[in-house]
Structure 1
C-alpha cells in the first residue's frame, strides 16, 4: 500500500518507568535525543498523516516542540501509566473519521534504529484494509506494524500494556535484524545503542 494512504502513528507517551531518573526519550543517543531518531525517520516519508501520542505538554515540553516542528499532530494520553493500549485507542479514534486513510503504521518512539527501508517494507506488504503486517526478529511479532482499517474496531477494545500483540501475531511477518528492533527501556539499552548501526 502506498504511504500516502497510511497514517503514521508515533507512540511517545511512555513513562520511562524502567529507565530511572529522567525521560528516556530525551536521553542522548549518538548526538540527539532517542525520540528524534524515530521522529525524523518517520517524518521523512510521505504518509497521509503524521500523528504522535505524547504525555501532556507540561511533562514533555521539549518533545512537544520537536514533534510540532516536524509536522506531527499531537494527541495527549493523560494516563500513560495505563499502558500502550490507551495511546493506540486515542490514535485510532482520531484516524477513524479520516476516510482516505486505509490503515495505520504503529511506530514506537523508543525504537530509534528502525530504518526507513523497514518501514517501507511493512507498507508495501499491506495489500488492503484487511492487512496486518508486523515486524519480527524471527521469534516474536512486534511494532513497527501496519494495521488496516478493517481492524480499527478491534483496536478500540485494547486494554493494558500488551497493545495489539495478539492481532500482530496473526498477520504477515516481515523479518529484520533484532538489533534494528531493539527498544530503549533501561540505561543499559541506551549504552548498547550508542554504536551506530547499519540500516537493513
Structure 2
C-alpha cells in the first residue's frame, strides 16, 4: 500500500507557443485570468504538496502570473528543446521532496482539482505506479508517476514528456475522472476561442 506516500505537484509551464503565435499562450486570458494561473490553481487546490511550476527563465510573465499562489518556480533554461526538458527539471526538483509526482500542463485550464485528487487517491490505493486521468475511456492529463519511474523520466528526450514511460509501465492505468477538462488543452487561438464561447 502507498497510503502514506507524499505526492508532489509539478506544473509544466515552460513550453513554446509555436502553434498559438505571439504572445505566449500561457498568458492569454480566460475568464479574466491567464491560462497558466487556472492550471496552477488546479494543482495547488488539490491534495498534493509541495508544488512547483517549471518555467522558461525568458518568460517573466509566466512567473508574474503565478504570483500569490503556493508554487515554487523552477527555471528550465532548455525549454526550447521540448517538454521532456521540463519533465527532467520537474523530476529533479520532486526527487528530494516526494515519493511520487503528479504532472499538470500549463495550457490545460479546465481540469478540476478533484481530478488530481482522484489520481492521488488511486495511487495511494495501490492501483498503479503510473496513472493518467481519463474521461469517457480516453487517456488525458494530468498524469502521476511513482518514484520508481523517476530515473526513466529523468532520461526522457524530445517533446513527448513522460508518455513513453507511462506506456512502458507494466501497471499503468487510466483513472476515470468524469472530468472532460482532462482533454481540453489550448494549442491555437481557435482552441481558446471555443473555451470563451
Using structure 1 for the length normalisation, give the TM-score.
Answer: 0.86
More moved, 177-186 vs 135-144: 135-144
Tell me which residue corresponds to 1:108: 105
Q: Deviations over 1:19-44 (max 9, x none)?
A: 01211011111221111111112212
Unaligned 5+ residue runs, structure 1? 196-200
Tell me which residue corresponds to 2:20: 19
Q: How does 1:71-150 map to 2 (within 5 A)?
A: 71-98=70-97, 101-127=98-124, 131-138=129-136, 140-150=138-148
More moved, 83-92 vs 121-130: 121-130
Does structure 1 retain, via aligned residues, the 8 Å contact 2:47–2:117?
A: no
Tell me which residue corresponds to 2:42: 41
Tell me which residue corresponds to 1:66: 65
Unaligned 5+ residue runs, structure 2? none
- Secondary structure (helix, strand or coil) at the match of 2:157 reads coil
**Count of residues in correspondence between the two structures:** 191
Q: Aligned equivalents of 1:76 and 1:3: distance in 2? A: 29
Distance 1:68 1:133, change over 3 A: same
Question: Structure 1: which 4+ aligned runs deviate by more than 3 Å?
Answer: 1-4, 127-130, 137-142, 176-180
| TM-fit CA distance, 1:62 | 2.8
Does structure 2 retain, via aligned residues, the 8 Å contact 1:129–1:150?
A: no
